[in-house]
């Protein structure tokens, strides 16, 4: 379900923004499924005649307005505005709604993510996405759930639907981790560095956000135990700071747990058959999401642990051999690292600007000499070859990359897709360009302006 970049011109700026937002929403499954907590919350409140549903709609409209306004701001753009605004607004909504804890948290956070993703289509580039920042607002919201009291009323729908919403959100993250989030409006085919960056932070978000949701929304006893432990620790710490002897804490009064309520709204008398069927279906979805989450954690651990052990073993081997410094970095080509932070000035304000604005591609006009320009041209050729399907390795020198592309194009038994990728890579990584960049990189003479201009013209024609 991908929608390509919309190119139809219109004179209505609001209509153009709405179409770009729809392009951003429809560019991946994650944005569509992440809306499920919002829909569950609004539907539950409307079913019970709660006026808070209109407040939620107004909140989502406010997020849409913030996304539209922040798209044109030079400093506090849509990403920084989301980070600074999501946490206090979510905590405020949760306290005002008297008992809505993680369901309100999920609803507002999911709406913020949805609108931020949609606003990202306004200023998106085909090769430039900033996957970390839309998740920071949610990462700031998740710890606030520890301090929000969990009541029983939940303003129209109970803990059961909050758990289901949590499960759907985690399932959306698992799907988004394997789905190309750079498709559609963002371009690319999921093999770019930005796509790998996105999947890495999706895994981090599942680990950081998933555990509190499952623990605090599903097992209320864990919430009570954490709250009691935090309260006792704070009382003990304040007693030490005041210079008093820490007295023994009185035992907590026994609290009889309230009877477990159903997760779905009930009519007077017996619940309708449709609600019983829906409850079973939602619980099946929740169990499937929990199993998928456990499978995902095991698979991620199986992939991460061997690589981590190899790195630790290699580090100890270098230390034991007396090679504390890294070897010659010539065997690792960092040519794809041509992004730099945007200038933001000195001091804390400058660092804050650079954090919110992210990184950008180095412009041709900013390159100092012809060596850097040759590196830029080679990196451009490598990126285009990787997008075409060529499996480039950082251990290759430029000459080895050209030889590998030529071998891939000359394979007689390769499939149609592999042969097309090899031919495209061989055309992009031609021998002259790779040899010129290798000479410029490894101490050879600096290429002249005419040679650089010739290579740039050839890259543009390929």
Residues 378 and 394: their CA atoms lie apart, in Å, by 13
Residue/partner pairs of 258-267 with CB below 8 Å, 24 or more apart: 258/152, 261/152, 261/158, 261/159, 261/160, 262/158, 262/160, 263/157, 263/158, 263/159, 263/160, 263/161, 263/163, 263/164, 264/157, 264/158, 264/160, 264/161, 265/44, 265/47, 265/48, 265/156, 265/157
Tally Cβ neighbours within 10 Å of residue 346.
7
Residues 289 and 287: their CA atoms lie apart, in Å, by 5
Residues 143 and 127: their CA atoms lie apart, in Å, by 33
pTM: 0.32
Write down the domain spans for the chain: 13-226, 339-461
Decide if pLDDT at 182 tops 50. Answer: no
Decide if pLDDT at 327 tops 50. Answer: no
List Cα–Cα distances, 19 to 165, 187, 250, in angstroms. Answer: 28, 17, 61
The structure tokens 């900033």 sit at 130
Count each helix (H run) and each strand (E run) in the chain, helices first: 17, 2
Mind giving me the DSSP string for 178-197?
HS-TTSGGG-S-S-SHHHHH
Nearest alpha-carbon partner for 409 in 400, 401, 418: 418
The pLDDT of residue 29 is 41
Tally Cβ neighbours within 10 Å of residue 457.
9
Contact 94, 105 (CB under 8 A): yes
Tally Cβ neighbours within 10 Å of residue 160.
20
Per residue in 30-61, pLDDT (tens digit) is 444 444 444 444 454 555 555 444 555 554 55
Decide if pLDDT at 403 tops 80. Answer: yes
Per residue in 233-254, pLDDT (tens digit) is 666 766 665 565 545 545 555 5
Vertex 126 angle, CA 125 and 127, to 5°: 90
The pLDDT of residue 357 is 52
Which of 15-29, 30-44, 279-293 has the lowest average pLDDT?
A: 30-44
Q: Are strands 339-341 and 359-361 parallel, antiparallel or unpaired?
A: antiparallel
Decide if pLDDT at 295 tops 60. Answer: yes
């Amino acid at each position: 379900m991908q929608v390509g970049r919309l190119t139809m011109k219109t004179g209505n700026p609001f209509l153009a923004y709405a179409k770009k937002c729809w392009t951003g929403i429809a560019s991946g499954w994650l944005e569509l499924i992440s809306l499920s907590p919002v829909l569950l919350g609004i539907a539950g409140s409307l079913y019970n005649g709660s006026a808070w549903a209109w407040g939620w709609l107004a909140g989502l409209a406010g997020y849409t307005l913030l996304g539209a306004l922040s798209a044109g701001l030079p400093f506090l753009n849509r990403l920084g505005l989301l980070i600074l605004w999501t946490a206090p607004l979510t905590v405020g909504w949760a306290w005002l709604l008297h008992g809505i804890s993680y369901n309100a948290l999920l609803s507002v956070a999911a709406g913020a993510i949805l609108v931020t993703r949609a606003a990202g289509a306004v200023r998106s580039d085909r090769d430039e996405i900033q996957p970390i920042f839309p998740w920071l607002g949610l990462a700031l919201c998740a710890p606030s759930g520890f301090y929000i009291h969990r009541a029983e009323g939940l303003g129209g729908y109970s803990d059961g639907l909050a758990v289901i919403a949590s499960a759907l959100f985690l399932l959306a993250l698992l799907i988004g981790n394997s789905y190309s989030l750079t498709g559609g409006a963002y371009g690319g085919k999921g093999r770019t560095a930005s796509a790998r960056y996105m999947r890495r932070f999706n895994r981090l978000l599942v680990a950081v956000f998933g555990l509190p949701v499952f623990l605090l929304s599903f097992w209320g006893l864990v919430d009570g135990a954490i709250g009691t432990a935090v309260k006792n620790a704070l009382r003990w710490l304040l007693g030490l700071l005041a210079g008093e002897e820490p007295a023994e804490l009185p035992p907590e009064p026994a609290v009889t747990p309230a009877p477990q309520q159903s997760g779905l709204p009930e009519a007077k008398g017996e619940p309708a058959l449709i609600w019983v069927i829906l409850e079973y279906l939602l619980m099946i979805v929740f169990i499937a999401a929990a199993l998928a989450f456990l499978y995902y954690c095991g698979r991620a651990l199986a992939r991460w642990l061997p690589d981590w052990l190899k790195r630790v073993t290699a580090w100890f081997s270098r230390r034991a051999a007396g090679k504390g410094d890294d070897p010659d970095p010539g065997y690792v080509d960092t040519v794809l690292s041509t992004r730099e932070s945007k200038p933001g000035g000195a001091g804390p304000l400058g660092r804050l600007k650079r954090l919110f604005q992210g990184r950008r591609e180095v412009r041709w006009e900013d390159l100092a000499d012809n060596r850097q320009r040759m590196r830029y041209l080679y990196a451009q050729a490598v990126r285009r070859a990787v997008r075409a399907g060529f499996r480039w390795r950082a251990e290759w020198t430029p000459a080895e990359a050209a030889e590998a592309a030529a071998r891939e194009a000359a394979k007689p038994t390769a499939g149609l897709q592999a042969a097309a990728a090899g031919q495209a890579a061989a055309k992009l990584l031609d021998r002259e360009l790779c040899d010129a960049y290798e000479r410029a990189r490894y101490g050879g003479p600096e290429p002249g302006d005419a040679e650089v201009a010739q290579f740039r013209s050839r890259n543009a024609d390929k």
